[in-house]
Structure 1
Amino acid sequence: MFTPQSPIASGFSAASIPDEVMRHIDLRGKYAIVTGGHSGIGLETVRALRAAGARVMAPARDVAQARAALTNMPDVMVQPLDLMDPDSINRFADAVLASTDSVDILLNNAGIMAPPLSRDARGYESQFSTNHLGHFQLTLRLWQALAAGGNARVVTLSSLGHRYSPVCFEDIHYTQRPYDPWRAYGQSKTANALFAVHLDKLGRESGIRAFAVHPGRVPTTRLSRFMTPEEKAAVAQAAQVGPDFVPSPLKTLAQGASTSLWAATSPQLAGMGGVYCADCDISLLVADDSPDVSGVRRWAIDPRQAERLWALSLELIGE
């Protein structure tokens, strides 16, 4: 399988912080959208983009909560957006398109992790619906604005958790098999990575480049709100979380935001895209059965699986 999935020796690392990766980055006149930009990694991402001069939109389900979190950044725009509600996505996209001609950075940052089984109004499993389909629909609705500037980047947060499961096309929504919250999470994170692969293929002629990123293990985020106290304690001890052992080091919120910011802005990635990144570099490709806790599995960047997922996703959102 041909892939550009190979590290480029960026000079950064897992310990890099936004001040390092954004040094000399000038985003004045640029428009950026960060879903989930009012908390955790998203808030750190918004802070760095704003500091570099970008106009930033941070859509949220709870607008009052988001505005309260962004009190010290009153120029950051907030609009309602529920990624599990297709109508909400369309309303948000319409509002963006009415207010700007172009979107330069779209950071698909929001997500949920390992909740009890729930479904959206269409019957779709909540993690696949929120983490993948919502961002898929949002990106397509903003395509016109992304293409307008001729040099846009779409960065979607995947995760090392992609190793828990490929996309199970035969039963994506757990209607035939027992629900496993961690494997459902892994499936959605694999979908995020595959989305970047095919989006980059389709978008490059319009100047749209796409990346998937693993931010690292950051325990102090709302992503862990569905975890039991025992699972949270395990994270703090770098012990078993999910279906297998993941002894990778923990990151601060700022370190967790750095790879997203690097993928969204770095001139080192000019002319590149469709790759999975971690620790502020392109990740190594590893075998699907690799015990390595770093790198990306082949199933998450397979262009044939990416094309298949794209076609199915269009069908699922009614396009």
Structure 2
Amino acid sequence: MTLLIIGSAVFISFKDKAASSPIFTGRVIYDEFQMPINNKFGHHTEAMDVVEGLDLKGKIIVMTGGHSGTGREATKAFVSRGATVIALARDVEWAKRNLKGLPNIEIEYLDLLKPESIETFAQKFLKSNRPIHALINSAGIFSSPLVKNEKGYERIFATNVLGHYELTVKLIPALKKAKGSRIINLASRGHRLSNVIFDDINFEHTEYEGVRAYAQSKTALILLSIKLDELLKNSNIRSFAVHPGPIPSSDLFAATLVGVAPDYKVNIMKSASKFVRLIHYTELLNFFRSPKNIGDIYKTVEEGGATTAWAAVSPELNGKGGLYLEDCNISVVVPNDSDAPFGVRNMHWIKSPLIEY
């Protein structure tokens, strides 16, 4: 088995263009708004590092995807400093297993494809009269065959964007109650692969590609973060988009299969992700790939949860919002046609009809 794993890592290194790419020397766009700050964190920072020394007692964090992969690492960091995390999960039993033994955890059922489950949770939480200090929209699905929900929306966009938007809007009263809260939307470097196809989001006429559907959903989440910040900052609610990094051992691939594949296939993917983390496959891949650009270095799930945690609780972001974050910092802006393995594409000036609020 060990030889098989090493062999696969060597094979991937030969196929991976990032491993042979020269150091990026292309153009970076000066943007006084989207400007990195000087701090001690970076690409290899872990979630536990960014909460060190913080007192999060009394803070309530509501999080989709907080039970698996990078989300679980952020959850562990939050509760280690005294915060309460309300983990919203479509697979409640999986959430219970993954979060067993952690303090200050509440698990609630929520399916982003089922508006009634979003409404049920939102009403239950609002009746508790508690504030939300951070709402983290971390759950998501990756490339998959074309499937539409009962309302006719393409499944990836409906899950990654529309479900989270509905959840966010319904929880605004609790976010206001915190008198200083944040909304975190998990985006991706994949946004560079597609704009939002505003006149054909559901691929009625456009040839469907799963990766493009995923990419447009992540671009949409960046635009959503910018717009939410614009609309809500006067209520002391700030919004951010986060790129967690390239993470081969993520549970994203298992989550993508839920609802469209037999349970045994979902369980195989869950076990596979857990196994490759156990044998440090990410580190092995990086060893054989040896990419020159730090943005191409794969992250562990512990590292992948760091920017999410930083975005949610770091005092370095006080008074800021509407930003795209990566590597526990504010990202630079690069041209839309850039092949930079970092940075946000130049989308501040895209006029988005995504929201009518």
CA 1:43/1:122 → structure 2, altered by over 3 Å: closer, same or farther? Answer: same
- Of residues 317, 326, 345, the one that matches 1:297 is 345
Q: Which residue does the alignment assign to 2:192?
A: 163
Please name the residue that 2:332 is paired with. 284
Aligned to 2:317: 269
> Equivalent residue for 1:256?
304
What is the letter of the counterpart of residue 355 of structure 2?
W
Shift of 1:116: 1.1
Report the TM-score, using the length of structure 1 for normalisation. 0.88
- Calculate percent identity across the aligned residue pairs: 40
Which protein is bigger by CA-based radius of gyration?
2
Alpha-carbon distance in structure 1 between the residues aligned to 2:54 and 2:121: 28
| Amino acid across the alignment from 1:259 | T
Query: Deviation of residue 295 (structure 1)?
Result: 0.2
Partners of 2:31 and 2:333 within 8 A in 1: no
Structure 1 match to 2:141: 112
Larger RCO of the pair (alpha carbons < 8 Å, separation 6+): 2
Name the stretch that deviates more: 274-283 or 67-76: 67-76
Q: How many residues align?
A: 300
Q: Where in structure 2 are the equivalents of 1:80-159 lying within 5 Å?
A: 80-159=109-188
Question: 1:196 corresponds to which residue?
Answer: 225
Q: Which residue of 1 aligns with 2:214?
A: 185
Q: Which moved more, 1:275-284 or 1:68-77?
A: 68-77
Of residues 36, 39, 58, the one that matches 1:10 is 39
Please, what is the CA RMSD of the aligned residues? 2.4
* 8 Å Cα contact 1:200/1:273 also seen in 2: yes
Distance 1:79 1:263 in 2: 23
2:71 is the counterpart of 1:71: no
Query: Could you tell me whether the CA contact under 8 Å between 2:295 and 2:342 is conserved in 1?
Result: no
Match of 1:210 in 2: 239
Unmatched tracts of structure 2, length 5 or more = 1-29, 258-272, 277-281, 287-293
Does the CA-based 8 Å contact 1:197-1:303 persist in structure 2?
no
| SS of the residue 2:160 aligns to | helix
Q: Which position in structure 1 is the counterpart of 2:50?
A: 21
Which amino acid letter does the alignment assign opposite residue 241 of structure 2? A
Cα pair 1:194 1:302 within 8 Å, conserved: no
1:60 and 2:72 aligned = no
The amino acid across from 1:268 in the alignment is E
Q: TM-score, normalised by structure 2?
A: 0.79
Matched, 1:309 2:357: no
Worse overlay, 199-208 or 72-81:
72-81
* Range 204-213 or range 217-226, more displaced: 217-226
- Distance in 2 (CA, whole Å) between partners of 1:140 and 1:87 is 14
Deviations 1:223-277 (A, max 9, x none): 12459xxxx99x9857xxxxxxx97110011100000111111111110000000
Q: Does 1:219 align with 2:267?
A: no
Q: What is the alpha-carbon distance in structure 2 between the residues aligned to residue 32 and residue 38 of structure 1?
A: 13
Provide the C-alpha distance between the structure 2 equivalents of 1:96 and 1:39, rounded to a whole number of angstroms: 22
**C-alpha contact 2:82 2:104 (8 A) present in aligned 1:** no
Task: Give the secondary structure class of the aligned counterpart of 1:213.
Answer: strand
Q: Give the partner amino acid of 1:44.
A: E
Please report how far the alpha carbon of residue 3 of structure 1 lies from its aligned counterpart in structure 2 after TM superposition.
Answer: 6.3
> Where do 4+ consecutive residues of structure 1 move more than 6 Å?
none
Partner-residue secondary structure (3-state), 2:324: strand
In the alignment, residue 253 of structure 2 is paired with which amino acid? S
